[in-house]
Amino acid sequence: MSAAGFPRVSTALSAALRSRGAQRCGRVWWARAPSQSLRVLLRNYTPSLGSFGLRRQLYRLEREADLYPEDWRKQMILLEQLNREGSVQSAEKVIQRIESGRYALGEEAKYEYIKALVRVGKLEERSKTGGGLESVLRNIPGSGSVLSRTGNSSESGRLPRGAAEPPTAARYTDNFNSPLQMYAGEGTHPTSAGATAPSSARALMGGASGGASGSTEEPLVVTLAEPTFRTQLWKTIRTLGTVFLLMSGVGAVMEERGLSRGISMQQEVLPEEGNKNLRRFSDVKGCDEAKDELIEIVEYLKAPQKFTRLGGKLPKGVLLVGPPGTGKTLLARAIAGEAGVPFFYASGSEFEEMFVGVGARRVRELFNAAKKRAPCIVFIDEIDAIGGKRNPKDQMYMKMTLNQLLVELDGFSSSEGIIVIGATNFPESLDKALIRPGRFDRHVIVPNPDVRGREEILTLHTEKIPLADDVNLEILARSTPGFSGADLANLVNMAALKAAREGASLVTMENFEFAKDKIIMGAERRSAVISEENRRLTAYHESGHALVALFTDGALPVHKATIVPRGVALGMVAQLPEKDMTSMSRKQMLAKLDVCMGGRAAEELIFGPENVTNGAESDIEQATELAEAMVTRFGMSPKLGNMAYDIQREVCGELLHVVEKEVKRFLDESYQRAKQVLLTHEKELHRVAAALLEKETLGREEIIRIVRGDPLREQLSEETTVKSEEEAADTGSLAENVAARARGAVAAAAAKAGVPRPGKVPATAKTA
């Protein structure tokens, strides 16, 4: 009998069985002549099962036998366990399962059947019934029935006299409480005893034993048990469920990582619809020259015959070039809105994926959709993401995408009505094959707006915002040079939010100034804890910048000075030009160097050379970069002349020494000029520093009034001025550096205050 379906025995028990002469066939252990030690081993490993454990075991065995009716091993294990349980109900269940004929059975089933009949007391009844017991036993596989070999039974309730005894079996239960059969017979296989294995199994294995191989009179019938519909349905559902769970998991991972779009089926590309993104040229301000160049495109899209009747051709591609935020995308939408044609928008980064060939496929899909809806506009934003200069080391997918774009630009004629517009901030990075004539051959520059353009943009963005009477957009436009259209839109939005937070009903000029300062200088850090010594040092540092800017010819006007921490700086002096600047003269560059050195010069004059701080780090770095550019790029060095040098590659040896010498000369001369300005205007330096310590932030007009000696406001009393002079007397290093006239003024102020000279004040704060 087989023990198939149960967990295998432990390794230690397997070794013990094998050492005592047992052999293993599949999952069944058997022995030809079991020794006494083997029988003792099996007896010691046989635990006693309680009634509850036996019922659970019978339930499990019956479920497995019903699930696999074609497995005769599972059927035999169940029948034997039912007889072992010993109840009448179990015996009746054995009789019912054998007589039903729905289950595959081994030859040993006849013994289990007779045992069950004896248990319920029906053996004699079945024997007397004509052909009843004999017919049942005949249907069980084997070499004839028990009764046919032994004759009729002489005693009721027992096996017939002379009947072949079932094979000797020793049973034990392993650690998993599952029975395991150990068969012992003379010269028998574990599946045979007397007339051993089922006929079907023996026929398949080619084995023969005791006339059970079949003959002409008694042919051997082999029946293959087919799985039931229930079994097949369960296997199908289980397989489909596993596949579904696996595909769901893979799909979730791909969706999370954004990979599904790369392998998805081809989808139709559609133009933008609705009035949400519809724009007109009236919505575009600050770039009149660019609009004038693009009006020709609009007229062509409206009436193509007007241009093609004389054989003229418009460019296939238009490249919009300009810094970020100048309105390149807005211009492209305005062209589509004015012409009333479909607008296809695509970003350069949307084409590429981790899968090779996806970018080229998306380019084809985009242009195929555009050809179906011509005339139309195809706008590719940040085209340098896919149209950069090709390099032999580039990946293949990058080359494929660009090559496909070049093919598509050549694949349609200008008469088809498709205008391709690209936008980039770096035109020098584009591949030459992309911008050659016949592709993107027209370049439209979209620069930052000038004063008039900034005023128009501010007027456009403030149309729906209630403004106070003190708001002057012209002044605001003049004070925001270098601002792009996006910066101005952000300025208006920040001012409106500031007024809304304060609960005001109108947006004032003060709100706009706050927003402008936040954009230029960064957000204030009011929560920063600054010691009084560092505040005083920062005030003199920023006052030095402001005074040098005021008294140096060619310097940009001072916009605002503050000692409120903004960003990473403890203080800042902002300068804004009075008008738009397209170039800088030598005088303006030297003045900028002087302003950069003004903060360090003020620290040295007031606190002494040994107490200067690292607050001038960014100033010195900015000045060094400008001086180096003057020497190597702008040709402003008398020794090197009007030549440009690449200091990273071309300058070395003696030439590098000359360049460094000239840069140092520019910086040293600038520092001396800044120090001389502060020595000359030492009183003004103290007054501005005192005002900064009290108000923390000063505007241009306030600084000019303080320098002139005019009363600033009622908040700045005479006590503040006296206090600043007393602080000036506290600096012992001033007398060593001041000129004769300035030295006398300081001595008089110190004598008037009657304050002796203290020691030097340490300061380590970093200022801008």
Helical spans, DSSP H, in 502-583: 509-521, 532-551
297 vs 544, residue with greater confidence = 544
| Mean pLDDT value across the chain | 74
The pLDDT value recorded for residue 2 is: 35
Cα angle value 659/664/670 (rounded, 5°) = 130
Q: What is the pTM of this model?
A: 0.56
Over residues 662-690, the pLDDT tens digits come to 999 999 999 999 999 999 999 999 999 99
The pLDDT value recorded for residue 415 is: 54
146 vs 618, residue with greater confidence = 618
What is d(CA 564, CA 514) in angstroms, rounded to the nearest whole number? Answer: 13
The pLDDT value recorded for residue 139 is: 60
- pLDDT exceeds 80 at position 216: no
Confidence tier at 39 by pLDDT (50, 70, 90)? low
CB-side neighbour CA atoms (13 Å) of 719? 3
Confidence tier at 298 by pLDDT (50, 70, 90)? confident
In terms of CATH architecture, what is 451-519? Orthogonal Bundle (1.10)
DSSP-based helix, strand, coil % in the chain, nearest 5: 50, 10, 40
* Adjacent-strand bridge partners of 726: none
What is d(CA 382, CA 440) in angstroms, rounded to the nearest whole number? Answer: 14
Residue 542 annotated among the catalytic residues of the structure: yes
What is the arithmetic mean of pLDDT over 290-306?
83
Region for residue 388 given its phi and psi (left: phi exceeds 0; alpha: psi -120 to 50; beta: otherwise) = beta
The pLDDT value recorded for residue 152 is: 37
Confidence tier at 253 by pLDDT (50, 70, 90)? confident
Phi and psi, residue 607, nearest 5°: -110, -5
CB atoms closer than 10 angstroms to residue 375:
18
Over residues 355-365, the pLDDT tens digits come to 666 788 888 88
Weakest-pLDDT range from 103-107, 293-297, 599-603, 737-741: 737-741
What is d(CA 30, CA 514) in angstroms, rounded to the nearest whole number? Answer: 96
Region for residue 242 given its phi and psi (left: phi exceeds 0; alpha: psi -120 to 50; beta: otherwise) = alpha
What is the arithmetic mean of pLDDT over 95-108?
84
Catalytic entry in 542, 604, 662, 684: 542
What is d(CA 117, CA 99) in angstroms, rounded to the nearest whole number? Answer: 12
CATH number for the domain running over 532-753: 1.20.58.760
What is the arithmetic mean of pLDDT over 447-469?
91
- pLDDT exceeds 50 at position 486: yes
- pLDDT exceeds 50 at position 741: no
Question: Residue 240: CB partners within 8 Å, gap ≥ 6?
Answer: none
CB-side neighbour CA atoms (13 Å) of 588? 9
β-pairing verdict for 558-562 and 572-575: antiparallel
The pLDDT value recorded for residue 29 is: 60
Q: Of 241-245, 730-734, 755-759, where does the model show the most confidence?
A: 241-245
The pLDDT value recorded for residue 380 is: 92
- DSSP state for residue 642 in the 8-state scheme: S
Region for residue 417 given its phi and psi (left: phi exceeds 0; alpha: psi -120 to 50; beta: otherwise) = left
What is d(CA 369, CA 361) in angstroms, rounded to the nearest whole number? Answer: 12
What is the arithmetic mean of pLDDT over 179-202?
37
Confidence tier at 312 by pLDDT (50, 70, 90)? confident
Cα 768 to Cα 10, 142, 608, 622, 626, distances in angstroms: 79, 104, 19, 11, 17
The pLDDT value recorded for residue 664 is: 94
- pLDDT exceeds 90 at position 630: yes
660 vs 47, residue with greater confidence = 660
- Identity of residue 372: K
Burial class (CB in 10 A: 0-12, 13-18, 19+), 634: middle
**Contact at 8 Å (CB) between 592 and 581?**
no
159 vs 671, residue with greater confidence = 671
- DSSP letter string over 341-370? --EEEEEGGGS--SSTTHHHHHHHHHHHHH
Q: Of 83-92, 213-222, 256-265, 397-406, where does the model show the most confidence?
A: 83-92
- DSSP letter string over 581-628? -S---HHHHHHHHHHHHHHHHHHHHHH-GGG--GGGHHHHHHHHHHHH
User: Following CA atoms 590, 596, 599, 603 in sequence, which dihedral angle do they give, to the nearest 10 degrees?
Assistant: -70
Confidence tier at 288 by pLDDT (50, 70, 90)? confident
β-pairing verdict for 558-562 and 697-699: antiparallel
- pLDDT exceeds 60 at position 147: no
Residues above pLDDT 90, as percent of the chain: 23
- DSSP state for residue 486 in the 8-state scheme: H
- pLDDT exceeds 90 at position 242: yes
What is the arithmetic mean of pLDDT over 607-636?
91
Question: Residue 11: CB partners within 8 Å, gap ≥ 6?
Answer: none
Confidence tier at 129 by pLDDT (50, 70, 90)? low
Q: Of 5-19, 21-35, 435-449, where does the model show the most confidence?
A: 435-449
Weakest-pLDDT range from 128-142, 268-282, 507-521: 128-142
The CATH superfamily of 281-445 is P-loop containing nucleotide triphosphate hydrolases (3.40.50.300)
What is d(CA 560, CA 558) in angstroms, rounded to the nearest whole number? Answer: 6
**Contact at 8 Å (CB) between 446 and 335?**
no
What is the arithmetic mean of pLDDT over 229-252?
88
Confidence tier at 215 by pLDDT (50, 70, 90)? low
β-pairing verdict for 317-321 and 179-184: unpaired
CB-side neighbour CA atoms (13 Å) of 713? 9
Two structure tokens written together for 56:
């659970």
743 vs 684, residue with greater confidence = 684
182 vs 350, residue with greater confidence = 350
* Adjacent-strand bridge partners of 135: none
- Mapped onto helix, strand or coil, the DSSP state of residue 222 is coil
- pLDDT exceeds 50 at position 764: no
What is the arithmetic mean of pLDDT over 248-252?
82
